[in-house]
């Protein structure tokens, strides 16, 4: 089985003429051999203007293909009173009752340890939902922010021990190496220097996971293939396959992680057990699928 833990639907901005709907998503899944997909929301965050899809859109879309599509919900940490005392339980209770299995994609332009974020993170953990977040350093872009070495993420891990945080995004994945570029928003082919923040934090905190989606996840694993394979093997119980493909067209852009996982399996670069965990087993265990 192959489960994509990071899929999207919605209307693409600013053009707004392209609509990625549930039918398009399932068609892509069929081409790529994906059995189930976790469908993420975005529109709850004002920063996510590029793809219109909120929790209601996602729940409705997933209801058309209940055996294939798994809804995620999303709440902005600034929702309601815009403070760190806001009670989100009534919304979380409803979303869980309606079948949501996680929260994502969490990408407000806020610091990771903002008290409003920590308040939401704790409450999401109380409902047993993992949070898939995007981390992006650019001040003019979406994504949670952190300093070099990811100390704010570590603070969140310390203060929210019952919440599984699933890493994603360029700033997260570039920190797989001890040496990081000045601008942590680009992909790189520079070999990994051991001792990076991501492997250090994943080893230290049981509730830090990661998904392999998008160019950022693919680059994190392939920029230094030997290190990448060792990373996949070391954290085989906390990594999940994902695409984060935001187009209705299969090759626009491509999802290279699909071909990578096929090659790893076919060439036996990792054991079948490890491949199965990353492909589906970990997602099934984490979300009770």
Residue 133 bridge partners (DSSP): 106
Percent of the chain with pLDDT over 70: 100
Least confident among 179-188, 235-244, 267-276: 179-188
Least confident among 70-79, 119-128, 202-211, 248-257: 248-257
In eight-state DSSP terms, residue 278 is I
Q: Looking at the predicted structure, is the pLDDT value of residue 50 above 90?
A: no
Q: What is the pLDDT of residue 273?
A: 98
64 phi-psi bin (left φ>0, alpha ψ -120 to 50, beta other): alpha
pLDDT category of residue 188 using cuts at 50, 70 and 90: confident
Q: What is the pLDDT of residue 232?
A: 98
CA distance 2 to 223: 24
Q: Which residue did the predictor score with more confidence, 16 or 38?
A: 38
Q: Looking at the predicted structure, is the pLDDT value of residue 181 above 90?
A: no
CA distance 246 to 153: 26
Q: What is the pLDDT of residue 49?
A: 86
The CA-based angle 29-276-176, given to 5 degrees, is: 90
- Mean pLDDT calculated for residue range 254-260: 90
Q: Looking at the predicted structure, is the pLDDT value of residue 248 above 90?
A: no
Q: Which residue did the predictor score with more confidence, 262 or 141?
A: 262
Q: Which residue did the predictor score with more confidence, 247 or 44?
A: 44
Q: Which domains does the chain have, with CATH numbers?
A: 3-287 (3.20.20.140)
CA distance 256 to 213: 9
Rg (CA), the chain: 18
Q: Looking at the predicted structure, is the pLDDT value of residue 189 above 90?
A: no
Q: Which residue did the predictor score with more confidence, 247 or 30?
A: 30
Which residues lie closer than 8 Å to 45 by C-beta, 6 or more apart? 74, 76, 107, 108, 142
- Mean pLDDT calculated for residue range 187-195: 90
Q: For the chain, what is the mean pLDDT?
A: 95
Q: Tally Cβ neighbours within 10 Å of residue 12.
A: 18
Q: Looking at the predicted structure, is the pLDDT value of residue 39 above 90?
A: yes
pLDDT category of residue 191 using cuts at 50, 70 and 90: very high
Q: Looking at the predicted structure, is the pLDDT value of residue 138 above 90?
A: no
Compute the residue count for the chain: 289
- Mean pLDDT calculated for residue range 177-183: 86
Q: What is the pLDDT of residue 182?
A: 78
Residue 88 φ then ψ, to 5°? -100, 5
Q: What is the pLDDT of residue 18?
A: 81
pTM of the model as a whole: 0.96
- Mean pLDDT calculated for residue range 37-44: 97
Burial of 24 (0-12, 13-18, 19+ CB in 10 A): middle
**Helix 214-222 × helix 225-234 angle, to 10°:** 100
Q: Looking at the predicted structure, is the pLDDT value of residue 47 above 80?
A: yes
Residue 52 bridge partners (DSSP): 11
Q: Quick check: 76 and 103 in contact, CB under 8 A? A: no
């Amino acid at each position: 089985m192959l489960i994509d833990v990071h899929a999207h639907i919605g209307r693409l901005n600013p053009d707004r003429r392209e609509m990625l709907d549930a039918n398009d998503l399932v068609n892509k899944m069929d081409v790529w051999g994906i059995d189930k997909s976790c469908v993420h929301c975005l529109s709850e965050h004002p920063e996510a203007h590029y793809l219109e899809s909120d929790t209601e859109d996602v729940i409705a879309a997933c209801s058309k293909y209940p055996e294939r599509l798994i809804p995620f919900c999303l709440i902005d940490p600034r929702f309601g009173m815009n403070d760190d005392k806001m009670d989100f339980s009534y919304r979380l209770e409803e979303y869980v009752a309606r079948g949501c299995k996680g929260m994502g994609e969490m990408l407000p332009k806020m610091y990771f340890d903002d008290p409003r974020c920590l308040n939401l993170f704790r409450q999401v953990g109380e409902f047993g939902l993992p949070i898939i977040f995007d981390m992006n350093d650019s001040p003019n872009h979406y994504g949670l922010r952190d300093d070099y070495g990811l100390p704010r993420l570590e603070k969140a891990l310390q203060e929210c021990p019952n919440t599984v945080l699933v890493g994603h995004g360029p700033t997260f994945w570039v920190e797989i190496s001890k040496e990081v570029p000045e601008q942590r928003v680009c992909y790189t082919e520079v070999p990994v220097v051991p001792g990076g923040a991501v492997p250090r934090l994943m080893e230290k905190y049981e509730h830090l996971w990661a998904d392999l989606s998008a160019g950022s996840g693919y680059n994190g694993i392939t920029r230094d293939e030997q290190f990448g394979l060792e990373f996949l093997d070391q954290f085989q119980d906390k990594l999940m396959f994902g695409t984060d493909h935001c187009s209705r067209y299969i090759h626009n852009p491509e999802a290279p992680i699909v071909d990578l996982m096929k090659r790893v399996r076919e060439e036996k670069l990792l054991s079948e057990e490890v491949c199965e965990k990353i492909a589906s087993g970990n997602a099934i265990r984490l979300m009770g699928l």
